[in-house]
C-alpha cells in the first residue's frame, strides 16, 4: 500500500573524505540532525499540500496530524538513519458515529484522499510533497551534514591540541 522511495547521492567525494576523519558517534549524531532538517522540509511541504484538501467545515485537519518520527526499528536492525513522515491517528475512529473531535482529531480518511478508492480518484499530497521537495531536502541534508562534520573535525582538532 505505502510506497518506498529510495535514492542515492553521487559526487560527494569531499564529504566522504571528511567522514574518514570523524568517529562513528559523531557521524551518527550529525547525520541524524541533518536528516531531521531534510525531513522537516518534506513534512512542511506535506502540510502545505494537505491544507488544500482539509475541510474547513470540520475541526479535523490532516495537516495538523502530519508528523516526523525517528525510525528506531530500522536503526536497530541495520544501523541506517531513517525518519518516517506520515499522518498520525491510526486507521479507524474508535468512537462510533464519526464525531468531530476538533483540532488534532483523528483523520483516517487521509488514505482515501492519498490513494483513492474505486469510486473516488486519488488526490495525492504526501507523494507530491516528496516529489516537489526532494531536491531541496537532499541539498539541505548535504549542507547540514557537511557542516556538522566540519564542526566535529574542529572539535577533534581542538581536543587533540592541534588548534
Q: Could you state, in order of their start, the residue ranges of all structural domains in the chain?
A: 17-159
pLDDT on residue 23:
67
pLDDT on residue 35:
94
pLDDT on residue 139:
94
Phi-psi region of 17 (alpha: psi -120 to 50; beta: other; left: phi over 0): alpha
Beta-carbon neighbour count of residue 107 at 10 Å?
25
- Residue 12's closest CA among 129, 133, 149? 149
Instruction: Outline where the chain has alpha helix (H).
Output: 13-20, 24-53, 72-78, 110-115, 126-159
Contact 140, 41 (CB under 8 A): yes
Judged against a pLDDT cut of 60, whether residue 99 lies above it is answered with: yes
98 pLDDT band, cuts 50/70/90, is low
- Residue 40's closest CA among 103, 123, 129, 125? 129
pLDDT on residue 17:
66
According to the 3-state scheme, what is the secondary structure of 139-157?
HHHHHHHHHHHHHHHHHHH
Average pLDDT over the chain, rounded to an integer: 83
32 pLDDT band, cuts 50/70/90, is very high
36 pLDDT band, cuts 50/70/90, is very high
What's the grid cell of residue 121? 480518484
Q: What percent of the chain has pLDDT over 90?
A: 40
- Residue 114's closest CA among 136, 130, 133? 130
Amino acid at each position: 500500500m505505502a510506497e518506498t522511495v529510495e535514492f542515492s547521492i553521487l559526487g560527494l567525494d569531499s564529504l566522504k573524505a571528511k567522514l574518514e576523519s570523524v568517529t562513528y558517534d559523531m557521524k551518527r549524531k550529525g547525520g541524524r540532525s541533518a536528516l531531521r532538517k531534510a525531513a522537516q522540509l518534506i513534512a512542511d511541504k506535506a502540510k502545505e499540500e494537505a491544507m488544500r484538501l482539509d475541510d474547513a467545515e470540520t475541526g479535523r485537519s490532516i495537516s495538523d496530524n502530519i508528523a516526523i518520527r525517528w525510525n528506531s526499528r530500522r536503526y536497530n536492525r541495520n544501523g541506517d538513519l531513517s525518519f518516517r513522515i506520515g499522518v498520525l491517528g491510526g486507521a479507524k475512529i474508535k468512537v462510533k458515529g464519526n464525531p468531530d473531535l476538533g483540532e488534532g482529531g483523528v483523520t483516517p480518511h487521509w488514505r482515501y484522499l492519498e490513494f483513492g478508492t474505486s469510486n473516488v480518484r486519488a488526490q495525492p499530497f504526501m507523494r507530491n510533497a516528496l516529489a516537489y521537495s526532494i531536491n531541496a531536502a537532499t541539498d539541505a541534508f548535504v549542507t547540514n551534514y557537511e557542516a556538522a562534520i566540519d564542526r566535529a573535525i574542529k572539535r577533534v582538532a581542538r581536543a587533540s591540541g592541534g588548534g
